[in-house]
Structure 1
């Protein structure tokens, strides 16, 4: 089964940082194919519990199959932005929250999911195929200026305007339906290919982020993690591109500093409401892991602890 081929990135490092109490309650906000969840459960005792969360209906089905007999585990279908709903009875008692922001290998490798510019499939890209608009719907109807904005902001694509114009010209003749069709148009519009990177990489990343509301969901999830975690609880986030990592880094820094008050106010540092402290430095995959799993090369893990 292809699901088994998915390798969880920074597996040992993430679980080591996350699990501080074997009898605690943990949330795996991005269940995927259960690699991190399985490792977390191995660290828990009989009193421990783990809640998995995932947008992808295939991941939910797989969780029911893989952990059918695991009483310490439950799965919830939805975005980690709404994990407070999933853990409503546990607010303030959550021992650790893990967010692995990468797209799972089955999503990338199944052509029919429409994430890949390397395999031909329907242009979909939705992680939750039960709701929202597909990549094809968005690409075929969005204004040229908005296409360019998304490509530039979410893909950090310097030829965003040129690519948006090429897409709009082509869709006037024939709407986009397939991944390779879109990839070829973007490829032709890219005048300066980066060595070792497909010329449509940034545009496909941008469309996926936009269609799935990934950055908005991440911001909500970070804010809610602070509300959910008990004092001493850990937040562990694994990012795979600079946009996500910058968001996580700034969030932890801001919560570590507390509210920024006007200079000169007679307030002691101990009186400022700080909610998180950073734990250690950012962690990256070592050369052994990168050699075994190329997708781990861009991963950055950050850890924070909830203050009392």
Structure 2
């Protein structure tokens, strides 16, 4: 199967294997992107199967397979439950969430997701949203900026970065990726400002702009309701903040990782993880697709009521 240039699907064959697709099942791809995973799922579905695909980015909509079995929802997947209900779907047999930013979004300089290009600081996955990275830097308080860089970027000296942003914006707004890179270099020094640090700064802003962790939390908590018994959830994450939430929820049934047990000491959880460790791409895939380098895939299955 030829993969689209728009976005090379990560862990393509592993995803299809672990979804355990039934020919007449109902499946959801929460992040259409280039449509690679969606096309693979469709090939395993029979004529009575259905695939619902979500994407809030207009650039991705043309990548939806032209097939009567496909329903395209042009929205953020935080609206998953609402649209399943709208289309008369009570429960689904499997769901794929390939989180983060698509290759296209990173490579399209004008979107402002990457520090590799000079562009306006945008970072909106949905271009219709009001809040952009530029707005965050212009309007957020020093305390809020410090919290964002610490929580979402795991930057140790986030207070220094927040202080510099607030001081600089009084004289000149920070509107472009190049201006932000220069500011980070002025705080930490050019020698210490490597690609890893810049990635952390840009990640923190992107997560805030798109509410990525809040959306993920809402999705995880909806899984017990939307999955049919033995239905599967396959989630690919690209940084520790996402992976920790997924791991906690799959393992314990709570986002925090706190475990609840019944009278007999048995763990109460709606899903059971099917992998003890995350599935990662092969060295060959990482060499072929640099975006796959940090990918971690976790799989869980809904426990039937009688087996809990």
The SS at the match of 1:87 is: helix
Equivalent position of 1:205 in the other structure: 203
Residues in 1 aligned to 2:68 and 2:285: alpha-carbon distance in whole angstroms: 32
CA contact (8 A) 2:21 2:44 kept: no
- Equivalents in 1 of 2:233, 2:192: separation in Å? 35
Map 1:174-185 onto structure 2 (within 5 A).
Answer: 174-185=172-183
**What is the correspondence of 1:60-75 to structure 2 with a 5 Å cutoff?**
60-63=61-64, 67-68=65-66, 70-75=67-72
Number of the residue aligned with 2:94: 96
Other-structure match for 1:44: 45
Written as runs of structure 1 = structure 2, the 5 A alignment for 1:85-164 is 85-88=82-85, 89-164=87-162
**Structure 2 partner of 1:239:** 237
Which range moves more in the overlay, 190-199 or 52-61?
Answer: 190-199
Please report how far the alpha carbon of residue 47 of structure 1 lies from its aligned counterpart in structure 2 after TM superposition.
1.1
Within 2, Cα distance between the matches of 1:193 and 1:250? 37
Q: Residue 167 of structure 1 contacts residue 186 of structure 1 at CA under 8 Å; is this kept in 2? A: no
Residue pair 1:11, 1:36 contacting (<8 A) in 2 also: yes
Q: Using structure 1 for the length normalisation, give the TM-score.
A: 0.90
- Segments of structure 1 that go 5 or more residues without pairing to the other structure are none
In the alignment, the residues of structure 2 paired with residue 273 and residue 247 of structure 1 have an alpha-carbon distance, to the nearest angstrom, of: 17
Question: In the superposition, relative to structure 1, how do residues 223 and 103 fare at CA in structure 2: closer, same or farther (>3 Å)?
Answer: same
Q: Which residue of 2 aligns with 1:254?
A: 252
Partner of 1:224: 222
Match of 1:295 in 2: 291
- Structure 1 residues 192 and 179: CA distance shift in structure 2, 3 A: closer
Is the 1:144–1:164 Cα contact (8 Å) retained in structure 2? yes
C-alpha distance in 1, partners of 2:156/2:53? Answer: 37
1:159-170 equivalences in 2 (<5 Å): 159-170=157-168
Check the 8 A contact 2:91/2:225 in 1, yes or no.
Answer: no
Which residue is equivalent to 1:4?
5
Where in structure 2 are there 5+ consecutive unaligned residues? none
1:23–1:45 CA contact under 8 A, matched in 2: yes
Rate the CA distance shift 1:178–1:242 in 2: closer, same or farther, 3 A.
Answer: same
DSSP 3-state at the match of 2:73: strand
The structural deviation recorded for 1:194 is 6.1
Q: In 2, Cα distance between the equivalents of 1:236 and 1:167?
A: 39
In 1, distance between residues paired with 2:100 and 2:239? 9
Change (3 A) 1:199 1:145: same
> C-alpha deviations, 1:167-207, integer Å up to 9, x for none?
11211111111111112111221248669635421111000
